[in-house]
Chain A
Amino acid sequence: MRIATPAIETAAVGDVITVRRLSKRYGNRADAILALKDIDFTVPDCEFLSIVGPSGCGKSTLLKILAGLLPATDGEAALNGTPIDGPRQDIGVVFQSPVLFPWRSVLGNVLLPADVQRLGRDEMTKRAYDLLKLVGLDGFEKRYPWELSGGMQQRVALVRALIHDPALLLMDEPFGALDAMTRESMNVELQRIWLERRKTVVFITHSTAEAVFLGDRVMVMTPRPGQIGDFFRVDLPRPRALDVMNTEKFGTYVRRIRTVLNAGGGLE
């Protein structure tokens, strides 16, 4: 019998991330700041989840907890069924700045996770060449970070996050420091890469348009304390071109997200 029921299929695929009643308090006195309050969500395998919210809504704190860099105060976050209680090797992170090491070449930077986790150098080098080609950086392997533009540096950071084939890719406003034009082309690039190498992605941004353009789903967060405002499933066909932003449907998503943000006091 090779017919699987949808229910069994869902169970087999499962959720990559499960977050249950997660809270984070900074400090433990009366003046403690509640950064995150009762966060509850799941991310199914290979979903691209955008998280959008104003500064101070705790989205970076949430990402740090998912990356195992910060402990949660209450509740739990789990990756593929095991609780996240510290840094782990099956997560890739892209930060707001590229965070490249100037004393390592592009290839050396990309291979950093392989060096840390003592993965086979030969196999990883081959993978690095493939991934660098995928992001359009073939021929730059021997260059050094300072010889690259900001957009290229961030692509190197993306390849570095993918080199050890992590189960989850976390991105913390990765294009926030780039100029508007570069940022748009990076969004198109990221979508293309994601369509080629399907992966579960949690992408944090404060740009509503970016969140809708990239996400299968958008999680809207509101500040003080950081809470989930609402979820939106983005029902736009892929691959999405930049002019999708001019469509009526895209505008509607953006408007509805803005309404949630406004209601939460998120926008000035």
Chain B
Amino acid sequence: MTKGLRGLSLRLVLIFMTLLTWELLVRGLSVPAFILPAPTSIAMALYRGIASTLYLDHIWITLAETLMGFVLGTVLAFTLGIAVALSRRIEYFLYPFIVMFQAMPKVALAPLIIIWFGLGITSKVVSAALVAFFPLMVNTIVGLRSADEDRINLMRSLAASRWQIFWMLQLPNAMPYIFAGLEIAMIFALIGAIVGEFVGATSGLGMLIQSMNFTMDVAGQFSILLILSMLGLVLNGIVGEVRKRVLFWDPSQKVDAAGSAAAGKGGVS
């Protein structure tokens, strides 16, 4: 306990020292604010943005886009993942498309999506869903196929139907993989929403960064980056917390291993 406390205070000291050095360097060398703003001016920008409720409206928009995109991407990834995992025929016909889409950087589709779905929130939801979709679908397929042969034989020896094998064995067995996929999908949905806003939007944190870029408000951009990383942490934390509750039975590190494997495969940046 004392050891953990000491580690925590050491970290805080380190962060404080970094910010202090940053502040002193910027002031001492008189670095222009449009190159690198001092931490104090970033804090000021953050305070002003939140106090004027300007940021809050945009946070809400981006959050809504991210969550709706996450839900849409998740539903599609589940449906297709289950279909592909259970039917060799569906896999056979869908496989070329899956491979092609997987190799493509999904964010490159953002301009097209804006053309098709307009400048409103819909295009961002679609973009978020598209980016979130693949890592979860791949993990769902791998998870459903990873059921141990002995366990399948056990279910078969009980004269279980195909659906019973799916519900009682394959689906619970795939949960560690699915949750690893969900954690990635959550962060990817945020990326998708921001990229969509970059390309064309009337509101949202990504649009705000873009417009601040035109006015050389670098301190403002930094303050939004800070908000975005907080947003990412909170969203990821929520999924992680749900995972801990659902996967109480999975004491292994399987989840993390599957997560990093899928992150490598998903390949969006």
Q: Which residues of A contact B (CB under 8 A)?
A: 67-69, 86-89, 91, 93, 95, 97, 99, 101-103, 112-113, 115-117, 144, 146
Contacts and interface: CB of A to CB of B under 8 A. Distances in A.
Contacts of A101: 151, 168-169, 172
Contact of B154 (A89, A93, A103, A146): A93
A102 B159 contact: no
B157 A69 contact: yes
A144 B157 contact: no
Interface residues of B, number: 19
Contacts of A87: 156-160
Given A95-B150, A99-B150, A146 B251 contact: yes
Contacts of B168: 101, 112, 115-116
Contact of A93 (B151, B157, B172, B251): B157
A68 B150 CA distance: 15
A89 B156 CA distance: 10
Contacts of B150: 95, 97, 99
B250 interface: yes
A50 B249 CA distance: 36
A69 B249 contact: no
Dominant secondary structure at the B interface: helix
B53 interface: no
Interface of B: 148, 150-151, 153-160, 164, 168-169, 172, 175, 249-251
A158 B255 CA distance: 30
B249 A144 contact: yes
A113 B156 CA distance: 11
Given A101-B172, A144-B249, A89 B153 contact: no
A68 B158 CA distance: 10
B172 A99 contact: no
Nearest to B172: A103
Nearest to A96: B150
A91 B154 CA distance: 11
A69 B156 contact: yes
Given A91-B157, A99-B151, 11 more contacts: A67-B157, A69-B156, A95-B153, A99-B154, A101-B151, A101-B168, A101-B172, A102-B250, A116-B160, A116-B168, A146-B249
A88 B159 contact: yes
A29 B82 CA distance: 36
Contacts of A115: 168
21 contacts: A68-B157, A68-B159, A69-B153, A69-B156, A87-B156, A87-B157, A87-B159, A87-B160, A88-B159, A93-B154, A95-B153, A97-B150, A99-B150, A99-B151, A101-B169, A102-B249, A103-B172, A103-B249, A112-B168, A116-B160, A146-B251
